[in-house]
Chain A
Amino acid sequence: MTMDCKHVWEQVSDYIDGSVTPEMKQAIERHLANCRNCSAVVDSTRNILVLVGDERTFEVPVGFAQRLHHRLQASMDAAAPGA
């Protein structure tokens, strides 16, 4: 299987997830070995997703958990589950 750059881009998301077929994976990796631009696309996408998924990128407001359980308790005091 021979792939052009556009075909590789279409598979980037599935490739990162590891959900492409073994044949597709091989074809993508053959292309990446010879295409600096597509390697940069895959590397940058994967890197950006790692950063986005880091706990520091999205922090919950200070005191969030305490306020959540406080309000939940008030509701629980008023009614049984499913009531």
Chain B
Amino acid sequence: MIARILAGERELFHDLIRPYERGLYLAAYAVVQHEADAEDIAQEAVIKAYKGLKNFRGEARFSTWLTAITLNEARSRWRKTHGEPLDFLSDCEESGGDYTPSVLADWRYIPSRELERKELRQTLREAIARLSPEYREVLILRDVRGMSIAEAAAATGVNENLVKIRLFRARLSMQKLLAPRLAPRQRGLIGWLTRKAGGQ
């Protein structure tokens, strides 16, 4: 399809990017954590990809190439907004820190239908927002978009080992932030409070 677009069938570019729209928004949102900015960044990235399509060599998957453009655009926007670079950790710094999970006595499975509750969705988003940007990036790429470690490495521009370290820390941080709040006893208390507030 790319060859046809470059040969003049421009309109096909709409179809080419359609499967990746949501993913690009999420990649941008992972960095900037702002809906309107993330939307604007995704638009800019798609236009850059269109203009630079002849530079796509096919070494990575098209979706990975598109995501890399989006992340670069998002990081650039972050720098302009905050007047400073993102605090990307060096390999040396990556080795520090204490990452231990929240230890629970038990866990009762939370089914996906519970996501109909706005408060649960909000709780999950707030926890992700508390991660550092480089951890958010890999968590979104791997666990929300379903990219492989290799694809996430190509998209973020770091090696696979670093992606795995960041992913480990992001996942453990999410567990530590969320498990105590979502553990059976807490959920029982929240449910009771919600019912009480609703007068049930």
Chain A contact residues, CB within 8 Å of chain B: 6, 9-10, 12-14, 16-17, 19, 36-37, 39-41, 43-45, 47-54, 56-58, 60-61, 64-65, 67-69, 71-73, 75-76, 79-83
Contact = CB atoms under 8 A, between A and B. Distances in A.
Interface stretch (B57-65, B82-90, B110-118, B190-198): B110-118
A19 B174 CA distance: 20
Interface SS, B side: helix
29 contacts: A9-B100, A9-B101, A9-B172, A12-B172, A19-B149, A40-B105, A41-B101, A44-B101, A45-B174, A49-B171, A52-B174, A54-B115, A56-B115, A56-B116, A57-B121, A57-B124, A58-B26, A58-B29, A60-B21, A60-B26, A65-B18, A65-B21, A71-B47, A75-B47, A75-B51, A81-B51, A81-B53, A82-B6, A82-B51
Contacts of B6: 81-82
Q: Which 9 A-B pairs have the closest CB atoms?
A: A82-B54, A13-B168, A40-B104, A40-B107, A81-B53, A56-B115, A43-B107, A44-B179, A45-B175
A55 to B, nearest CB: 8
Contacts of A68: 21, 39, 42-43, 46
B91 interface: no
Interface residues of B, number: 62
Contacts of B144: 52-53, 57-58
Contact of B50 (A37, A40, A75): A75
Contacts of B182: 44, 48
Contacts of A17: 149
Interface of B: 5-6, 8, 10-11, 13-14, 17-18, 21-22, 25-26, 29, 35-36, 39, 42-43, 46-47, 50-55, 100-107, 109-110, 112, 114-116, 120-121, 124-125, 128, 139, 143-144, 146, 149, 164, 167-168, 171-172, 174-175, 178-179, 182-183
Most buried by B among A9, A36, A43, A52: A52
A83 B51 CA distance: 6
Nearest to B18: A65
Interface SS, A side: helix
Contacts, number: 155
A48 B174 contact: yes
Nearest to A37: B103
A36 to B, nearest CB: 7
A65 B14 CA distance: 10
Contacts of A50: 112
